[in-house]
Amino acid sequence: SEVIAECGISLKRLCRLCALEGLSGLEFAYGIPGSLGGAIYMNAGAYGGEMGEVVKEVLVFDGKESRWIPRDELSFGYRESLLKKEKLIALKAVLRLKRDDPQNVQSRMIDFLRRRIEKQPLDLPSAGSVFKRPREGFYVGKAIESLGLKGYRIGGAEISRKHAGFIVNIGGAKFEDILKLIDLVRREVKRNYDVVLETEVEIWRSSKR
């Protein structure tokens, strides 16, 4: 079964609508912050699923014209896509999902959300997981925790006490506070583990800075 959705819709709402219709395939995305377009742009994933697995085609805008791009030309990879590489804007997407009992779909969604609540700081504002996994078997959150940085604060930004792979806003956090924490983590992980961390979040700086 196929679903056509505007890319501005929130992932959470889209997952709920699909569950009500008995459409399976997006359960892993329930609870990932952001929109459908953003999730496709970075090939968001969790619990063994990724957006690239359910996307059939995407309508994009390149600054001059819009065009449909099929999945096999979208260059999906780990937190990567053609949209990200070429800075394309996602307008609309066709998703290929499977029919299932609505109760089964909702049950899986609730299970994934429960796991997130147990392990992630969903009670505080954040942009989700900050860093990409540099290689199989290297867990960034555990590495940060081993360096004693869990709970470390700069201004209103804090390395989460619940999951060190998240930076949360405990009140009044500024852009610079978060960047300083990211730089600190990258520096310490490189120094202690000889591992270079890349951010999973997109960092946009003003051209005036």
Catalytic residue numbers read: 79, 129, 200
d(CA 84, CA 88): 7
* DSSP characters over 66-90: EEEEEGGGS--BTTB-HHHHHTPEE
d(CA 112, CA 38): 20
Exposed, middle or buried by CB within 10 Å (0-12, 13-18, 19+), for 43? buried
User: Under a CB-based contact definition with an 8 Å cutoff, are residues 44 and 51 in contact?
Assistant: yes
